Amino acid sequence: EEIEKGGYDHFMLKEIYEQPRAIKDTYRGRLLADQGLIRMAGIDLNMEKFLNANRIIIVACGTSWHAGLVAEYIFEDLARIPVEVEYASEFRYRNPVITDKDVLIAISQSGETADTLAAIKLAKEKGAFVFGVCNVVGSSIARETDAGAYTHAGPEIGVASTKAFTTQITVLTLIALKLAKAKGVFSESKYHEYLTELENIPNKVEKSLQSNALIEIIADVYKDSTNCLYLGRGYNFPVALEGALKLKEISYIHAEGYPAAEMKHGPIALIDEHMPVFVIATKKGHYEKVVSNIQEIKSRKGKIIAIVTEGDEQVRDLADHVIEVPETLESLTPLLTTIPLQLLSYHIAVMRGCNVDQPRNLAKSVTVE
């Protein structure tokens, strides 16, 4: 096992650090930026299904559901296709309206999650075209779907999902870009800008990982918290949810993710000097509005830990701590802003003496309903 950890203390840390390579492996052979091409057989062969779809329904559980939420923003924003994202366990039991004009995308790292598998079977019965995004090759979901794309993240051992999440987002971004191109809703220059920037992402993830020492210091300050709030907006709202989930899963600290603007409809009542608030405040993405949320937290003495774009001055003046990530296109920011939140949860869990790779009560894959 020590050899498999490759010198890291835990699988989770190894998998966090593998992300630049994992993302590259996800687009290797698919993204041909110099030719302006994205090759994905599962999409190419079924392009008509996607182009004629009334909507895309995404089903998943846990972290994969958060990747689905990011994909909702990407598909609607880039490809202008309506998307609904559902917990597989809710979708399958609520007599959903599904027709043969629907495309269902099931996202699952393991490809074995019972509720996701059942949702797929239901959608197929009703005539929908079902596409899988899985990591485990030959898994039940990979076999049950009509077509699919693997994430190629390599085995993920840590129960808390890390590289599966960022590679799922990468695959879904590639699909959205292909559909945007095929629909003609994207200018050539915008399309090329995306392809080129996707190729820069592994280096930018690498740069984001360089905040590790700073994150360890921040983790030490907040490790004894009993509650934490995570806020983000737009593309980074699902990242806030995922940040909170990571902390809950491995450190057993209660954490809640919220859309930043909804703070005033509830969570603001909880803010006092004992409440750390992790805010994703990257440039673009309603930046000024998030800054005003930060001011509201500050005036209630909440502790602010902000994830900001490199060189940001405005938030630095307000926040207790800032963690920088490189600048990128707005829809690709989740691939970077997720990284410091993963590291933060990891360090807090280690400092609290928790079993990081095998947290209590959780399983890597949930094959029971």
- Residues marked active site are found at 364
Binder among 19, 26, 89, 108 for ligand G6P (CB under 6 A):
108
Q: Read out DSSP for 113-159?
A: -HHHHHHHHHHHHTT-EEEEEESSTT-HHHHHSSEEEE-------SS
Contacts of 229 (CB under 8 A, 6+ apart): 244, 255, 256, 258, 263, 267, 270, 271, 275, 276, 277, 278, 302
Q: To the nearest whole angstrom, how small is the minimum distance from the Cβ of residue 60 to ligand G6P? A: 6
Q: Is the CB of residue 94 less than 8 Å from the CB of residue 122?
A: no
Among 91, 152, 92, 157, which Cα is nearest to 363's? 157
- Specify the stretch interacting with ligand G6P by CB under 6 A; choose among 110-118, 119-127, 188-196, 266-274: 110-118
Binder among 110, 251, 293, 342 for ligand G6P (CB under 6 A):
110
130 part of the interface to ligand G6P, by CB under 6 A: no
Our CB check for ligand G6P shows the closer of 63 and 211 to be 63
Map residue 268 onto helix, strand or coil.
helix
Alpha helices in the chain (DSSP H): 11-17, 19-27, 41-44, 47-51, 62-74, 88-91, 114-125, 140-144, 163-183, 188-209, 212-222, 237-251, 287-299, 314-318, 334-351
Q: Is the CB of residue 164 less than 8 Å from the CB of residue 63?
A: yes
208 part of the interface to ligand G6P, by CB under 6 A: no
153 part of the interface to ligand G6P, by CB under 6 A: no
Sign of the Cα pseudo-torsion (25, 30, 33, 38, in order): negative
Binder among 109, 151, 166, 211 for ligand G6P (CB under 6 A):
109
- Specify the stretch interacting with ligand G6P by CB under 6 A; choose among 72-80, 103-111, 205-213, 305-313: 103-111
Binder among 161, 208, 333, 338 for ligand G6P (CB under 6 A):
161
Q: Nearest to ligand G6P by Cβ — which residue?
A: 62
366 part of the interface to ligand G6P, by CB under 6 A: yes
In degrees rounded to 5, what are phi and psi of residue 228?
A: -140, 150
Q: To the nearest whole angstrom, how small is the minimum distance from the Cβ of residue 358 to ligand G6P? A: 10
Q: Is the CB of residue 77 less than 8 Å from the CB of residue 285?
A: no
Among 241, 358, 233, which Cα is nearest to 283's? 233
Q: To the nearest whole angstrom, how small is the minimum distance from the Cβ of residue 107 to ligand G6P? A: 7
Q: To the nearest whole angstrom, how small is the minimum distance from the Cβ of residue 2 to ligand G6P? A: 23
166 part of the interface to ligand G6P, by CB under 6 A: no
Our CB check for ligand G6P shows the closer of 60 and 79 to be 60
62 part of the interface to ligand G6P, by CB under 6 A: yes
Q: To the nearest whole angstrom, how small is the minimum distance from the Cβ of residue 265 to ligand G6P? A: 27
Q: Is the CB of residue 243 less than 8 Å from the CB of residue 160?
A: no
Our CB check for ligand G6P shows the closer of 62 and 96 to be 62
Our CB check for ligand G6P shows the closer of 175 and 218 to be 175
Sign of the Cα pseudo-torsion (246, 275, 286, 291, in order): negative
Q: To the nearest whole angstrom, how small is the minimum distance from the Cβ of residue 348 to ligand G6P? A: 18
And the tokens for 148?
A: 């699919």
- Specify the stretch interacting with ligand G6P by CB under 6 A; choose among 12-20, 107-115, 121-129, 256-264: 107-115
362 part of the interface to ligand G6P, by CB under 6 A: yes
Q: To the nearest whole angstrom, how small is the minimum distance from the Cβ of residue 32 to ligand G6P? A: 28
Give the Cβ contact number of residue 369 at 10 Å: 11
149 part of the interface to ligand G6P, by CB under 6 A: no
217 part of the interface to ligand G6P, by CB under 6 A: no
CA pair distance 91, 244, nearest whole angstrom:
23
41 part of the interface to ligand G6P, by CB under 6 A: no
- Chain residues binding ligand G6P by CB under 6 A are 61-64, 108-110, 113, 116, 159, 161, 362, 364-366
